[in-house]
């Protein structure tokens, strides 16, 4: 880190808002397949009774996210370098945490294929002149070009704006539902807080838990966005001085503000999606997959706002799905070079080499996603399967967060009593839900 980059954060609240951003990039990523498909399907299959899964998923993971963000600011190191310094067995040059992150992320190619395919299905419904196969190939090419040409920030701003519009549209749909026969009562909502998990919805519930809110992917990605935003650079390397500690606390507080505002947004959106699915779709006799899934979910909007809402829904659905895939490609193109450098496959701390890998992965990954979708063509199953894999990766993330907190506790930075309580509540809740789901599943 360049000492010239060190600066103190602003004290004025409105000036602090200028330094927010990483959490909103995650919101653009989060408000996508998890909310549009996984959350809605859980509401459709489970009714109101599994509402608690969604709320817990959104609220408890943020403490783990904060621990990752704090560690990124304090150390300034890429995440996989930090993973490689954790305790545990080692294979070659990589620790078990790096290998598991690498392997589980590879398995999530199925999920990304489903997300990209979902966006293609939406386009085929808006523009039926071309097939789904045509659109998925075209979308794969546009993803590669945008990341290859490094237009990320411009596109992300546009995608975030579109997701914001889709969010308003979804909340309007929820309000509009109370003026239709699908209106529901507060008692029905409260019935979903009983922590009941019927056997028939376990797979969907675990998938939704793994993919909604700040999923394992977003927690990992958050460290890269925090560093690119400049939090670690502005804090500077730890020289042991009191000035550094004060500066670090101040920048971490801004990171906390960023994460909590984002949490409010995606929790509100996710809860709205769930309640719409539970109210409108739960009584349906059969929930389809494949190309009919998007049409099925569109019933939420046509039932609550009328047939004229269909085009608005499809437009918003496209940007929600596409922005999620786009943000994931940007994240994976940072993650894999980080992993490869820890394995010793490519030189570490070589910026020009990293950029070459970003360009290469910008083409390789979308090709894999397109091929996966063309072979499977079941976006609902593909996305939920990725959520289950994400639940396993979340356990790796929890173990890492515990070690990060133990390592950094001695610095006494943002480790007050309530911070400690919320962190351990998050860890215990994630472990209990994951183990409960595995027990019920097998």
Nearest to 28 by CA among 129, 155, 207, 126: 155
| Exposure b/e, 268-299, CB count within 10 A at least 16 = b | ebbbbbbbbbbbbbbeeeebebbbebbebbbb
More confident residue, 111 or 282: 111
Calculate Rg over the CA atoms of the chain: 21
Strand 90-91 and strand 94-95: the pairing is: antiparallel
pLDDT greater than 80 at residue 433: no
* Tens of pLDDT, residues 170-183: 777 778 778 777 78
Sequence-distant (6+) residues with CB within 8 A of 165 are 316, 319
Q: Which of 178-187, 286-295, 332-341, 386-395 has the lowest mean pLDDT?
A: 286-295
With H, G, I as helix, E, B as strand and everything else as coil, classify residue 44: helix
In the chain, what are the helix, strand and coil shares in percent, each to the nearest 5? 80, 0, 20
pLDDT greater than 60 at residue 97: yes
Q: Which of 123-127, 144-148, 412-416 has the lowest mean pLDDT?
A: 412-416
Q: Predicted confidence band at 338 (pLDDT cuts at 50, 70, 90)? A: very high
CA distance 207 to 146: 29
Which backbone phi and psi does 398 adopt, to 5 degrees?
A: -65, -45
Q: What would the mean pLDDT of 186-190 be, rounded to a whole number?
A: 86
* Tens of pLDDT, residues 370-389: 999 998 877 777 877 777 78
Residue 9: per-residue pLDDT:
81
Distances (CA, A) of 224 to 76, 217, 283, 323, 436: 10, 11, 43, 18, 31
CA distance 361 to 336: 8
Q: Predicted confidence band at 38 (pLDDT cuts at 50, 70, 90)? A: low
The pTM is what? 0.85
Task: Give me the torsion for CA of 249, 255, 258, 259, rounded to 10°.
Answer: -110
Domains of the chain: 3-407 (1.20.1740.10)
Nearest to 210 by CA among 62, 26, 430, 24: 430
Q: Which of 45-59, 111-125, 249-263, 270-284 has the lowest mean pLDDT?
A: 270-284
Residue in the block written with tokens 């650079």: 233
The neighbour count for residue 332, using CB atoms within 10 Å, is 23
Distances (CA, A) of 135 to 349, 374, 376: 38, 11, 16
Residue 99: per-residue pLDDT:
96
Q: Predicted confidence band at 220 (pLDDT cuts at 50, 70, 90)? A: very high
Residue 321: per-residue pLDDT:
81
Structure tokens at 87: 């305790």
CA distance 82 to 229: 19
């Amino acid at each position: 880190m360049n000492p010239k980059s060190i600066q103190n954060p602003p004290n004025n609240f409105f000036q602090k808002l200028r330094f927010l951003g990483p959490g909103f990039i995650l919101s653009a990523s989060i408000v996508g397949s998890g909310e549009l498909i996984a959350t809605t399907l859980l509401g459709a299959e489970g009714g109101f009774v599994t509402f608690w899964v969604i709320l817990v998923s959104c609220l408890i993971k943020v403490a783990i996210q904060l621990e990752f963000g704090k560690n990124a600011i304090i150390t300034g190191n890429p995440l996989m370098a930090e993973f490689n310094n954790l305790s545990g067995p080692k294979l070659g040059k990589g620790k078990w945490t790096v290998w598991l992150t690498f392997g589980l992320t590879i398995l999530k190619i199925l999920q990304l294929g489903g997300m990209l395919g979902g966006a293609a299905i939406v386009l085929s419904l808006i523009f039926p002149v071309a097939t789904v196969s045509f659109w998925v190939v075209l979308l794969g090419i546009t993803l590669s070009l945008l990341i290859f040409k490094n237009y990320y920030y411009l596109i992300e701003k546009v995608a975030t704006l579109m997701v914001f519009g889709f969010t308003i549209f979804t909340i309007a749909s929820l309000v509009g539902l109370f003026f239709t026969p699908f209106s529901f009562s507060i008692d029905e909502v409260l019935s979903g807080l009983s922590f009941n998990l019927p056997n028939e919805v376990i797979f969907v519930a675990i998938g939704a838990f793994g993919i909604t809110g700040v999923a394992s992917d977003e927690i990992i990605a958050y460290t890269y966005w925090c560093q690119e935003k400049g939090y670690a650079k502005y804090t500077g390397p730890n020289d042991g001085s009191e000035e550094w500690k004060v500066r670090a606390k101040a920048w971490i507080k801004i990171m906390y503000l960023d994460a909590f505002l984002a949490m409010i947004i995606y929790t509100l959106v996710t809860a709205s999606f769930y309640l719409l699915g539970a109210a409108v779709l739960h009584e349906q006799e059969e929930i389809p997959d494949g190309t009919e899934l998007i049409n099925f979910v569109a019933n939420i909007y046509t039932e609550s706002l009328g047939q004229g809402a269909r085009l608005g829904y499809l437009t918003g659905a496209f940007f929600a799905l596409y922005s999620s895939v786009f943000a994931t490609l940007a994240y994976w193109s940072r993650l894999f070079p980080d992993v490869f450098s820890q394995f010793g496959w490519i030189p570490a701390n070589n910026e020009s080499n990293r950029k070459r890998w970003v360009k290469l992965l910008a083409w390789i990954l979308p090709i894999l996603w397109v091929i996966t979708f063309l072979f499977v063509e079941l976006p609902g199953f593909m996305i939920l399967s990725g959520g289950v894999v994400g639940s396993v990766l979340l356990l790796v993330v929890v173990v890492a967060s515990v070690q990060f907190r133990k390592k950094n506790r001695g610095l006494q930075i943002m480790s007050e009593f309530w911070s400690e309580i919320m962190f351990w509540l998050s860890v215990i809740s994630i472990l209990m839900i994951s183990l409960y789901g595995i027990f019920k599943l097998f």
